[in-house]
Each structure stands twice: as C-alpha cells, then as structure tokens.
C-alpha cells in the first residue's frame, strides 16, 4: 500500500517537526519574503534596502522582494504591512519618520505604529549634518551661531519638507543654541540642496549620503554633525557636542517591522537572520560609505526601548516646531 | 581639444560589444514599455534594478538610460495611436498626433515623432558633452522667484493648447490648478481636501488622471452605439512623410530642439514646459494656424523634439551635481549607489569612462531607437486595424496594470475610473482636457515657488520684478497675453460688427 506508507511518512515528518521547539520557525521562511519600502524607488532607504535584501536572501535561501509602496511620507506602505497577514512574510522598512513622527503629524491614522507593528531588528542610524553654502561668512559652527544670534530670523534654513527629520533637526538646533532661523521647506532633499548650493537658502541639515560628495567638491561646507562621535566619512567635521551643545544630538534611524500577532519565534528568527545580513561586508561598506552607523545586534529587546524613548523625543520636537497635519 | 578626447573615451566605452548589447536591450524594453499605456520608465527601471546587480556599472547605467529614452519614444506612440499620453510631456502630442491618426496619417505622425526625437536627441547629447557645466550653472540661477515667473509664463502658454475661445482654456487651466491643491501643504504640513485618505496626502497623481480623462473616456466615447468610429474605419493614406511634410516639419524640429535643450536643464517641470512651449511657438509661427488641433504636422514635430531634447538634458543636474531632477533621475542615483559609485560632482573626474560612456551611449541609443522605431511604425499602425472590440479591452487591461504598478496600490485604479466619468463629461461639453492636465502639473510648482519666494523675501512681492531673470520672464508673459488675446478680441469685434 504505497499510499498508506506515504501517509505514514508524512505523519511521522509532521510529528518530528512538532517535536522541535516550533513547527513554524523551523520551516520559516519557506517562501519569498516581501519587503515593503514605503518610499519611491531610488531614494536612500530604497538603495539600502536593496543591498540588505540581497545579503538576506542569500542567507535564508529565499528571495527577498523589495516592493515600493510610496505615499504620504510612508503612511501608505506602513499601513499596508500593519494590516497584512501576521506570518512573517511581509515586513516593512520603518524609520524615525514612519514610526515616530507620522503618528504625531497625521492625527487620524487608521493604525498605531507601535501597537499594530512589531519591531524585529534595528538597521542603521544616520545623523544629519549642518551644512552651509560655502560663500557665506561663517566657517565654523561657532561663527554660524554667533552670526545667527546677531541676525535673528535672517538666516534661511532649507528642509526636505515640514515635519520631516531634516526640518525637526533644525528645530532642535534652534532650541539648544537659542538661535532664530527661518524655515524654508521644499518637496524633498534634492531641490532644497540645489537652492543651498545656489545660495538662495543659507544652510540645511541633511544626511551624509548626499552631503559627502557635494562637500568634497566644495559645493557645500559642513559645519557640524549632530552625532555623539565624529563620522568616519567626515573626520574633520566636529560634532555638535564638541561645539558645546550636547543636547543638540539627533539621528534618524531605521529598522524592520512586521504585523502584530506574528509568532514570536518567527520574529526572533527573522531578527537573527537580518542581524547577520547586516554584518555582510557589502552591506557594511554601503552603510560606512554613506555615513550611516549599522545597528548590529539590535534585536527586538534592544530596539524596543530605544524606539519608546525616540517616540517621546520626536513628539516634543514636532509640537515645538508647530508643524502639523490634521 | 578636450571634448574630443573625452568623447573618444566615451565612445570607447559605449561601443564595447557588451555595452552596445545592453543599450539595445534597454532601448527595446523602453520602447515596448512606453507603448504599453500606463507602464512608464519609472516602474520598469525599478523592476529591472535588481537585474543590473550582476552587470558592470557602465553596462547597468547604459541599459537603464536606454529604457528611459526608449520609453520617451514609446510614450509618443500611444499618444498618437490611441490618444493616451503615458506621461505629462506627451500630453501635447495627443492634440495633433491623434488627429493625424484619425485622418489616416498615423504613420506620418509616428515617423515625424521618431525623426524629430532622433535629431533632438543628437543635438541635446552634444550639448551635454560640450556645455554640461555652464548649463548647470544656468539652472542654479533659477531660484524660487524665477521658477514662479517661468511657470506663470508656462500656464499662459498652455491656453494656446485649447482651440476654443481663450477663456475656455483659462477656465480649464484654473480647474486643473484647483485640483492640484489637494494634498499636503508644503509650508505647514496641513492636509487639504484629503479626507483622511493617506493616498491623497501627496495630491492627485498625473498618470491615473490622464488615463481616466484621455484613455478611458475616449473608449467610452468610441463605444457609443450611434456614433461611427472614425479612427478604425479610415484607411491609412501614407506611411512616411512626403516632401511637403518634411518642409513643414524641419523648422519645427529645429525650434523644438532648441527649446527642449534649454528648458530640460531646469529641474521640476522643465521638459513638460518645453513640450507645450514648442507647441505654442509652432502655432504662433505657422502659416496654417487653423490646422492646429486638427492634425498639423508641426504640432507633433515641435513638441516631440522638445520633450526628447528635454529628457536628455535633464541628465545635466544629475551628472554635474548628483542631484536628481525628477523621479526617474532619482532612480538613476539609486542605481549608481548600488553599484558603488557616489553620484556627485566628482563622477566626471573619478569615473570618466562611466561619465563619458553614458553620454556617448545616449547618442548610440538614439540611433538604435530610430532604427528600431521606423520599421515598427508599420506595426503600430496595423494595431489600428484590429477590430475595436478586441483592442479596447486590451487597452483597459494595460492601463489598469500600468496605473496599479505606479505605487502598487489599487487606489490609483479607482481614481482613474472616477476621472473617466469626468473626462466623458468634458468630451460631451467639448472642453479641452490638455490645458487642465498642465494646470494640474504646474499648479503645485507655482504655489510652492511663490510661497517659498515670499518666505525668502520676508513677504516682499517686489522681488519678482527686481530679479532681472524673473522680470524678463514676466515681461514675456505680458506680451504673450497680448499676442494671444488680440486676434480673439479682433475676431469677436468682427463678429459683432457683422451683426
């Protein structure tokens, strides 16, 4: 009876699988994983995701498909994952913006970024860098602060949009240094940078990935990084703390999240594999080149309390900035 | 001379057999994708990005660039054959291109577009090679106040797209501008007319609107039982342009190319502006202005050359500063990053083979496209002979796929369906949809730049006239209004006198 024996073998296999710590986690992942990037293709987030996805899929021997679902500063894609099947096969690229600031900016979201999503693993932190048009009279951050204090509201700081981290970093800077700058929002970083290069706007707080090549060509002058330590890619640029304002530190961060109710062992396994993918040499090189610090070893246990603290920090900043969406 | 050694380096890279092959694959894919309504270069490049991991950086970029301008070619095909603009720059082509197709001159229109695009591509490539740096510094001269004045001029020129009375065009533009108010306010982050729907936070997208108003509405109209479908029943008179056609299209191509090369450098709407600026220029200079809107060959030749030249020169901000001027360019930045090339001012010196190779491949790609497309003209025209009952479901399906693939979201498909009803209404009321779409595209730019200029000047309105560049543009706008309205006033007066 061939059929019976197949059946018996199948039953035995099932029993064996059940005998392990977890049936689901042993077989997971058994099919491709979709990684939702809630931004347009080609951005900083998208490139990073694609490089990690390659390393991750080699590790788990399943394709990791990067899918862009842009819209509303990341709300559309994040909502999609928050409401997806909690099986660990759909994960989302979460950022300080999509997880921490969006719930404050958009009051009527149909999901809760903390309750409907589970943090799986951290990815990287990226600190903004204060850069100025090189023709401007200030050459150091101290000179800039002195100039801004002497000319209140005369200095224009550009940002990638109201409520974005580039705007909020500027708000924090004003709070801690006691300066008054005029905020000029743009739609995205590229047009804002263009106007700083042209001298239409004076300064911008933007990320190293775009700043580094422009600073190297003397199109922009970096004044300070808003990190605790100097960046390896900008060794001559002092930190804001060195300049006497330790409270001015701020960073955007990222990590991966899945829908709530995803089995904890699946979350743990995905987190472990993702953590190892972060240590891949190609991934390490990409993040180092772009001035981002990888969050190696930041599993759920370490990532969760960090996010909780950040939620409070960004909320305060938004309320102080007056940026709002109803 | 430097230019020649550089170009020699470039052609050395571009003419490598593997790179030629990838340029060809890119152009072919781009053309096919462009022809599928709704599927644009953005989606294609995003989908193909992972495949390029295995390629060398120069091969990858050459292929992706090929897709980009291939799609520009392909996009005009649908605009002409089935009245579907795949992207904002081909809206203008639908006006006279589709009318030519209805008269059985689809082949001529397609060949004109291909020849115009090829010429424009060649000139723009040369401009990039020789003048990239000075052109980039011109682009930097354009701050918020200059952009505002340029866009105002653009909107005024858009009224010429309507063949009805001046006021009708103005009304449609204003309506489009009003639609564009939907979404997040740039200065404060406040939501306008978004009704808590996250998909509306970024405003109404161009593609679903264009698909609904042009594509779907046209299908509904063609399905009306009592009306005869002129498109499919007319026999095709001639495939290739005649001597007379050439005589009319050559100056139009020249002017379109010049306009496109200059305006394409400006990020944010440069290439859209160039297409209808070219149309306006042609309509005003033509000896047969009455033919415009009814299938004038200049109405295809000018804008098509302009948008292709613009597409090419929009690489300049990317190549000189590493700053992308549109979403497709942003994707090219992503592609460079993935291949370990830091996009920025130093690409030219650090990776000269790549930089000049890409430029040389643009020329190679344009040549391939014209070789690829001229024989295909016959094939596209044959599409029109397919019985409509088979053709329209196919158009519908491809449109839906294309609209969905924009953001991988069904919301946009419903949006297109809704605007189909609106588009049908416009057809019934005989109101021109093209100015409305341009209002939608330019509206946010006008508002944003106006408010940004106000922020920067601390509320001083006089900046628009004290900046020489801005003042010049506004001056041209005033003259344009006079030129546009004068004939109309005169004709209404004549009508009044007759009575």
- Cα separation, A198 vs A265, in Å, equals 53
Residue B1 neighbours by CB distance under 10 Å: 6
Q: Which helix (H) or strand (E) holds A94?
A: strand A90-95
CATH number at residue A238: 3.40.190.10
In a domain, A9, yes or no: no
What order of strands is seen across the sheet that includes strand A293-294?
A64-68, A33-37, A90-95, A252-259, A117-126, A293-294
pLDDT at A108 over 60: yes
- With helix as H, strand as E and coil as C, how does A235-253 read? CCCCECCCCCCHHHCCCEE
Domain holding A77, by residue range, is: 31-126+252-321
Query: Same domain for A261 and A187?
Result: no
Q: Give the separation between CA A83 and CA B21, rounded to whole angstroms.
A: 44
**Do A135 and A226 lie in a common domain?**
yes
Total domain count for chain B? 1
Rounded CA gap, B467 and B464, in Å? 6
Q: What is the CATH number of the domain that holds A62?
A: 3.40.190.150
Is residue A136 domain-shared with residue A84, that is, in the same domain? Answer: no
> How far off is chain B from A18, nearest CA to CA, in Å?
37
Given an 8 Å threshold on Cβ–Cβ distance, is A197 in contact with B321?
Answer: yes
Residues of B in contact with A182 (CB under 8 A): 455, 458
Spatial CA neighbour of A71 closest among B198, B305, B127: B198
Give the count of beta carbons closer than 10 Å to the beta carbon of residue B103: 17
pLDDT tens track of chain B, all 499 residues? Answer: 577 888 888 888 888 888 899 989 988 888 888 777 767 777 777 777 777 777 888 888 888 888 888 887 877 888 888 888 767 778 888 888 888 888 888 888 988 988 898 999 889 988 888 887 787 787 788 888 988 998 888 888 777 777 677 788 888 889 999 999 998 888 877 888 888 888 888 888 888 888 888 888 888 888 887 655 554 445 555 677 888 888 888 999 999 999 898 888 887 666 778 888 888 888 888 888 888 888 889 889 999 999 888 888 888 888 888 778 777 788 888 788 777 777 777 777 778 888 888 888 888 888 888 888 888 888 877 777 788 888 888 888 888 888 888 778 889 899 999 999 999 999 899 888 888 888 888 888 889 899 999 989 888 889 899 889 899 989 988 888 887 777 766 666 566 555 5
Tell whether pTM > 0.90: no
Residue in A closest to B46 by C-alpha: A41
Same domain, A119 and A146: no
CA distances from B298 to B236, B280, B295 (A): 20, 10, 9
A264 and A301 part of one domain = yes
Q: Which residue has the tokens 């040389």?
A: B360
* Total count of domains within chain A: 2
- Asked if A205 and A251 count as a contact pair (C-beta separation under 8 A), the reply is no
Q: Looking at per-residue confidence, does B133 or A34 come out higher?
A: A34
Residues A153 and A187 in one domain: yes
Mutation pick from B198, B199, B270, B443 vs chain A, by most beta carbons of A within 10 Å, is B198
Determine the pLDDT at residue B490.
Answer: 65
**Could you tell me the pLDDT band of residue A324, with boundaries at 50, 70 and 90?**
low
Token readout for B233 is 């029943």
Cis peptide before A271 (omega within 30 of 0): no
Count, residues in chain A = 326
User: For the range A108-113, what are the long-range contacts, defined as Cβ-Cβ under 8 Å and sequence gap of 24 or more?
Assistant: A108/A326, A108/B196, A109/A75, A109/A79, A109/B198, A110/A79, A111/A78, A111/A79, A111/A82, A111/A83, A112/A82, A113/A78, A113/A82
Model pLDDT for residues A205-250, shown as the tens digit of each residue: 998 888 888 898 888 999 999 988 888 888 899 999 888 898 888 8
Higher pLDDT, A20 or A79: A79
Partner residue facing A214 (CB), from B45, B322, B332? B322
- pLDDT at residue A323 in the model: 63
Q: Which of A248, A270, A287 is the last residue of a domain?
A: A248
Mean pLDDT of A284-290: 88
Query: Considering only CB atoms, which chain A residues are within 8 Å of B202?
Result: 70-72
User: For the stretch B381-404, what's the b/e string if a residue is b when 16 or more beta carbons lie within 10 angstroms of its beta carbon?
Assistant: bebbeeebeebbeebeebbbebbb
- Are A174 and A241 members of one domain? yes
Q: Could you report how far apart the first and last alpha carbons of chain B are, in Å? A: 69
Helix H segments across A38-164?
44-60, 75-82, 102-105, 141-150
Burial class (CB in 10 A: 0-12, 13-18, 19+), A56: buried
Q: What are phi and psi of B277, to 5 degrees?
A: -60, -40
According to the model, what pLDDT value does residue B38 have? 66
Instruction: Tell me the C-alpha distance between B493 and B48, whole Å.
Output: 59
A-chain residues near B446 (CB < 8 A):
none
Q: Does residue A14 have a pLDDT over 50?
A: no
Domain boundary among A204, A220, A248: A248
pLDDT at A1: 41
Contact B345 A182 (CB under 8 A): no
Within 8 A of A219 by CB-CB distance, chain B residues are 321, 345
Nearest by CB: A184 against B50, B409, B455: B455
CA B466/CA B472 separation, integer angstroms: 10
> Are B455 and A67 within 8 A, CB to CB?
no
* Set of chain A residues whose Cβ sits within 8 Å of the Cβ of B204: none
Q: How far apart are CA B125 and CA A55, in angstroms?
A: 38
Judge whether A196 lies within some domain.
yes
Rounded CA gap, B66 and B27, in Å? 5
Residues A51, A35 share a domain: yes
Name the strand (E) or helix (H) holding B470: helix B468-498
* C-alpha to C-alpha distance for A67 and A69, rounded to whole angstroms: 6
Query: What's residue A118's pLDDT?
Result: 93
Residues A216 and A171 in one domain: yes
- Write the DSSP symbol of residue A98: I
List the structure tokens of A294.
């990888």
**Does residue A69 contact residue A38 with C-beta atoms inside 8 Å?**
yes
Out of A204, A230, A248, pick the residue that ends a domain: A248
pLDDT at B226: 60
Residue range(s) defining the domain that contains residue B194: 2-498
Measured between CA atoms, the residue of chain A closest to residue B410 is A69
DSSP state of B345: T
Closest-CA residue of chain B to A36: B408
Q: Are B81 and B384 a contacting pair, CB within 8 Å?
A: yes
- Which residues of chain A lie closer than 8 angstroms to B184, CB-CB? 72, 161-162, 325
| Closest by CA position to B62, among listed B32, B24, B12, B33 | B24
Helices (H), B142-213: 144-158, 166-179, 206-210
What is the sign of the dihedral through the CA atoms of B167, B173, B175 and B177?
negative
């Amino acid at each position: 009876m061939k059929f019976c024996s197949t059946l018996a073998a199948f039953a035995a296999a099932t029993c064996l699988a059940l005998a392990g710590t977890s049936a689901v986690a042993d077989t997971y992942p058994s099919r491709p994983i979709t990684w939702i990037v809630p931004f347009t293709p080609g951005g900083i987030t998208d490139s990073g995701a694609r490089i990690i996805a390659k390393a991750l899929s080699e590790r788990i021997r399943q394709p990791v498909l990067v899918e862009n679902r842009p819209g509303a500063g990341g709300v559309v894609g994040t909502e999609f994952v928050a409401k997806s099947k909690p099986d660990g096969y759909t994960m989302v690229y979460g950022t300080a913006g999509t997880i921490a600031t969006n719930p404050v900016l958009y009051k009527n979201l149909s999901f809760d970024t903390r309750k409907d999503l589970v943090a799986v693993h951290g990815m990287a932190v990226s600190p903004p860098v204060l850069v100025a048009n090189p023709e401007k009279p200030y050459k150091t951050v101290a000179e800039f602060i002195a100039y801004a204090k002497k000319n209140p509201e005369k200095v224009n700081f550009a940002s990638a949009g109201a409520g974005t981290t580039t705007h909020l970093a500027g708000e924090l800077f004003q709070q801690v240094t006691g300066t008054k700058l005029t905020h000029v929002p743009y739609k995205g970083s590229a047009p804002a940078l263009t106007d700083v290069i042209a001298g239409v706007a004076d300064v911008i707080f933007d990320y190293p990935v775009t700043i580094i090549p422009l600073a190297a060509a003397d199109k922009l002058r970096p004044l300070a990084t808003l990190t605790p330590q100097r960046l390896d890619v900008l060794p001559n640029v002092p930190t804001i703390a060195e300049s006497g304002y330790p409270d001015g530190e701020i960073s955007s961060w990222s990590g991966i999240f899945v829908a709530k109710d995803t089995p904890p062992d699946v979350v743990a396994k995905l987190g472990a594999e993702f953590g190892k993918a972060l240590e891949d040499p190609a991934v390490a090189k990409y993040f180092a080149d772009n001035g981002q610090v990888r969050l190696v070893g930041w599993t759920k246990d370490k990532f969760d309390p960090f996010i909780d603290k950040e939620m409070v920090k960004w909320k305060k900043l938004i309320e102080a900035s007056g940026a709002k969406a109803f | 001379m430097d230019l020649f050694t550089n170009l020699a380096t470039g052609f050395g890279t571009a003419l490598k057999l593997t790179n030629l092959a990838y340029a060809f694959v890119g152009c072919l894919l781009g053309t096919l994708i462009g022809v599928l309504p709704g599927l644009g270069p953005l989606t294609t490049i995003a989908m193909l990005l992972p495949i390029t991991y295995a390629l060398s950086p120069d091969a990858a970029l050459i292929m992706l660039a090929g897709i980009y301008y291939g799609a520009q070619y392909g996009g005009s095909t649908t605009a002409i054959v089935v009245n579907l603009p795949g992207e904002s720059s081909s809206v203008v082509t639908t006006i006279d291109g589709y009318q030519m197709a209805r008269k059985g001159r689809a082949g001529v229109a397609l060949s004109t577009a291909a020849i115009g695009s090829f010429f424009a591509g060649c000139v723009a490539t040369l401009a990039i090679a020789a003048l990239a740096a000075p052109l980039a510094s011109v682009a930097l001269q354009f701050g918020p106040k200059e952009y505002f004045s340029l866009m105002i001029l653009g909107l005024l020129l858009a009224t010429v797209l309507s063949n009805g009375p001046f006021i009708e065009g103005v009304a449609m533009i204003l309506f489009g501008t009003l639609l564009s108010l939907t979404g997040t306010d740039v200065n404060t982050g406040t939501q306008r007319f978004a009704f808590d729907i996250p998909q509306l936070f970024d405003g109404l997208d161009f593609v679903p609107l264009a698909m609904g108003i042009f594509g779907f509405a046209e299908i509904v109209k063609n399905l009306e039982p009592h009306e005869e479908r002129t498109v499919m029943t007319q026999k095709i008179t001639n495939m290739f342009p005649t001597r007379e056609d050439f005589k009319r299209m050559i100056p139009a191509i020249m002017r379109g190319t010049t306009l496109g090369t200059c305006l394409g450098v400006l990020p944010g709407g440069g290439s859209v502006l160039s297409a209808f600026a070219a149309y306006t220029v042609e309509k005003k200079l033509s000896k047969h202005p009455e033919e415009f809107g009814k299938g004038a060959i200049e109405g295809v030749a000018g804008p098509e050359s302009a948008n292709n030249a613009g597409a090419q020169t929009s690489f300049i901000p990317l190549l000189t500063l590493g700053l992308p001027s549109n979403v497709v360019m942003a994707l090219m930045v992503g592609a460079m990053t993935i291949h370990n090339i830091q996009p920025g001012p130093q690409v030219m010196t650090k990776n000269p083979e790549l930089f000049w190779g890409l430029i040389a491949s643009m020329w190679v790609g344009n040549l391939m496209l014209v070789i690829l497309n001229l024989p295909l003209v016959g094939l596209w025209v044959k599409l029109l002979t397919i019985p409509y009952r088979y053709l329209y479901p196919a158009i519908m399906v491809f449109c839906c796929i294309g609209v969905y693939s924009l953001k991988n979201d069904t919301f946009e498909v419903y949006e297109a369906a809704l605007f189909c009803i609106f588009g049908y209404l416009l057809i019934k009321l005989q109101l021109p949809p093209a100015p409305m779409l341009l209002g939608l595209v330019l509206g946010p730019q006008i508002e944003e730049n106006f408010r940004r200029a106000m922020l920067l000047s601390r509320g001083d309105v006089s900046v628009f006239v004290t900046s020489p560049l801005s003042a010049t543009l506004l001056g041209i706008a005033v003259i344009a209004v006079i030129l546009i309205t004068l004939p109309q006033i005169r004709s209404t007066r004549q009508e009044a006198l007759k009575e």
